[in-house]
Amino acid sequence: MVTSLYMDPRTNPYAPGAGTIPPELAGRDEIIEKAAIALDRCRNGLASRGLFLVGLRGVGKTVLLTRISQNAEANGFVVVSIETPEKRSLPALLIPTLRTALLKLDRVAAVGDLGKRALRVLGGFVGAMKLKYQDIEFGVDLGNEPGIADSGDLEHDLVALFTEVGRAAKERKTALILFIDEIQYIKEDQFAALIMALHKCTQNQLPITLVGAGLPQLVGLAGRAKSYAERLFEYPEIGPLSESAAREALEAPALRLSIKYEKCCTHSSNID
């Protein structure tokens, strides 16, 4: 296909790049709606499953995760966004983002003390995890709630921490959504602790859930971490766009600039 008109590079809508949201996110409406339904059910205290977006590199998992995250924040959810490097522990990634999320929760409404209590529980969690994970760099004193989430056992403490965070979110009539990219890099024991904490929140109807993205091996990793992970999450496969969706992604941004594509006819000839 060729353009029928010249496209000014200053207004060219196409912006290829790693994780850059395209001007037209075509072909992903079904997954976006599936996520929206799951998050609404979670906020309303109804049974729902988290999502793990799985697929090869370059198919748009990060873009899709970002769009779902943006939609969630626009709809009043408290969003925690994490990209997982290969050599960072889960507690080191969670602690600063959870503090930010809890401060947001504390500003949502001026009733109750559960948000402040959750911050103190997070403080105890920080102290316990600093002794176990050397990559935690967090100098803010949040206080503590003695005997809650401060044992140093990640599975036990993460369950206790998420329980308090979930109660605070429920009091504010919202939900806390974890968005974690490249989730396959989380070490298996830490991944198991995360899944267990989310499972306990689901059992207790507390509004915390996870939308993650990772490579295809994520399905097996989750199953090995906790056997019930296959029932706790859905695993939509993100693949290449269909021909019609790819055409829409290409043509729609150009049409907004009054530029149309036309089919290119090619002729072959034999040369002696």
| C-beta of residue 88 within 8 angstroms of C-beta of residue 135 | yes
CA dist 153 and 131 (Å) reads 11
Q: Is the residue at 152 inside a domain?
A: yes
Sorted by sequence, the CB contacts under 8 Å of residue 182 that are 6+ apart come out as 83, 84, 85, 213, 214
Confidence of residue 111 (pLDDT cuts 50, 70, 90): very low
Could you tell me if residue 216 is inside a domain?
Answer: yes
Answer whether 26's CB lies under 8 Å from 241's CB.
Answer: yes
Mean local confidence (pLDDT), 26-49: 92
Residue 18 lies in a domain: no
Task: Assess whether pLDDT exceeds 80 at residue 56.
Answer: yes
The torsion angle over the Cα atoms of residues 112, 113, 115 and 116, rounded to 10 degrees, is 150
| Distance (Å, whole) CA 84 – CA 193 | 16
> Whole-angstrom Cα distance, residue 194 to residue 50?
12
Residue 20 resides in a domain: no
SS3 (DSSP) at 259: coil
229 within domain boundaries: yes
Rounded distance between C-alpha atoms, residue 180 and residue 212, angstroms: 5
> What tens digit of pLDDT does each residue of 210-244 get?
999 999 999 999 999 999 998 999 999 998 877 88
- pLDDT exceeds cutoff 90 at 24: no
Give the Cα-Cα-Cα angle 83, 85, 89 (nearest 5 degrees).
100
Confidence of residue 52 (pLDDT cuts 50, 70, 90): very high
Q: pLDDT-based confidence at 12, cuts 50/70/90?
A: confident
Asked if residue 147 is part of any domain, the answer here is: yes
Domain of 35, CATH number, reads: 3.40.50.300
Specify the higher pLDDT residue, 102 or 7: 102
Within a 10 A sphere around the Cβ of 195, how many other Cβ atoms?
Answer: 24
Number of domains in the chain: 1
User: What pLDDT score does 81 carry?
Assistant: 95
| Domain containing residue 126 | 2-8+26-262
Residue 15 lies in a domain: no
Work out the end-to-end distance of the chain between its first and last CA atoms, rounded to an integer number of angstroms: 29
Name which residue leads in pLDDT, 239 or 76. Answer: 76
User: Which is more confident, 236 or 267?
Assistant: 236
Task: Tell me the mean pLDDT in the region 260-266.
Answer: 68
Q: Domain for residue 250, yes or no?
A: yes
pLDDT in tens, 149-189: 999 999 999 999 999 999 999 999 999 999 999 999 999 99
pTM of the complete model: 0.86
